[in-house]
Amino acid sequence: MKNPIPHKTLRSGGRASGEPWRRGFTLIELLVVIAIIAMLASIILASLNAARNKAADVRRKADLKQLQTALELYYSDNNAYPSTGGVWYGNSPNAGSRTNYIPGLAPQYIQTLPLDPSPAPSACGGWGGAYLYISDGAGYKLLSHCPQNSSVGSTPSTDAFYDPVRSTWAWQVCSGTTECQW
C-alpha cells in the first residue's frame, strides 16, 4: 500500500526541496511592526503627558486653597493679613525670587510655602511659573501665575479660581471683591 501523502526530501536548513528559502521575517514585515509600535508609544506618551499636566493643575489649585486657609488663620490671630506693602512677592525673578513670598506665614500657619510644580522663571517676562502674593494688610490676592503646560486659559468665569484680570494666564484666590480686581 502506498502512502497517500507525497514525501518531500528535507535538505539542510530544514526546508523541503522545492520550497523557497525562508528563515525569518522580511524587512517589510519588520518595518510595519516597528511603525505600529512607534505609533502606540507616541499615543501612550501623549496620554501620560496630558495626565501629568492635569495633575500639576490639581496641585496648583490645592496649593492655593491651602495657602488661603493659612492666610485666614493668620488673619484670625492678627486681625490683618501678612503685608507686602502693596508690592508683588513671589518665587519668580521679577517678584524677588523669594521662597518666603508670604511673610510670617510659615512655619506657624503652614509648614512650608509651596512652589509651583513646574517652575518657568523665564516665562511671562520673568513672572512665570510662580505663586505671587500681594497684600496691604487689609486684603490680599494670591496667584498661580503663568503656569507651564496648564489649562488655565480654558478656565470658565464661573470657576472659583478664575482671575478676571488675568483670565488667560493665572488662577487666583483673594480676600474680597476689591482685591480680586488687583
pLDDT at 10: 52
pLDDT at 126: 73
pLDDT at 13: 52
CA–CA distance from 46 to each of 3, 101, 116 (Å)? Answer: 60, 34, 22
Q: Which residues have C-beta within 8 Å of that of residue 165, sequence separation ≥ 6?
A: 180, 181, 182
pLDDT at 90: 86
Torsion of Cα atoms, 141 then 147 then 150 then 156, to 10°: 20
Question: Which set of grid coordinates corresponds to residue 37?
Answer: 509600535
pLDDT at 124: 74
pLDDT at 94: 78
* Residues of the chain below pLDDT 70: 1-22, 123, 148-149, 152
pTM exceeds 0.85, yes or no = no
